[in-house]
Amino acid sequence: MNVDTVVGMFSIEIRRTFAVRQGLPAPVRDAKNLPPLMPAEGFRVTMRAGFSFEDDQLGERGWFVDTDALDESVDRCAERLAGGAWPEIFDFRPSFENVTKWAFTELAPSIPQLDYVELDNETIGVATRYVRSH
């Protein structure tokens, strides 16, 4: 089969892994006198940013966008998330839901056709994904 006769869609995901300090109280754990889940070094989080595009959007070089060009904005977003306790960084309540939406809004202008941003809290095994409405 010739590669030019196949019709489909591409999906690319960019990932960064780092530590974050959410810094919000845990009312359920507090009520049961349980220790906090967050270790001193913070939660291990992988941020995923995914975008997709059609076959006919490939350029002459055989790509839709040079992912190297996206690295700077993805790194800048990850650095902000890892830059301190979230209540000190953000002027909104920094739940994983709110911060994931913030990251999507932050990355959307620099990642064409951004489909989602996900913050996967690997320490506790919970991922939060914000998806673009179609």
Q: Does the global pTM surpass 0.75?
A: yes
> Rounded distance, CA 131 to CA 6, Å?
27
> Hey, what amino acid is at 94?
P
**Which tens digits make up the pLDDT trace of 43-98?**
899 999 998 877 666 667 766 666 777 889 999 999 999 999 999 999 999 999 99
- What DSSP designation does 123 have? T
**Which tens digits make up the pLDDT trace of 80-92?**
999 999 999 999 9
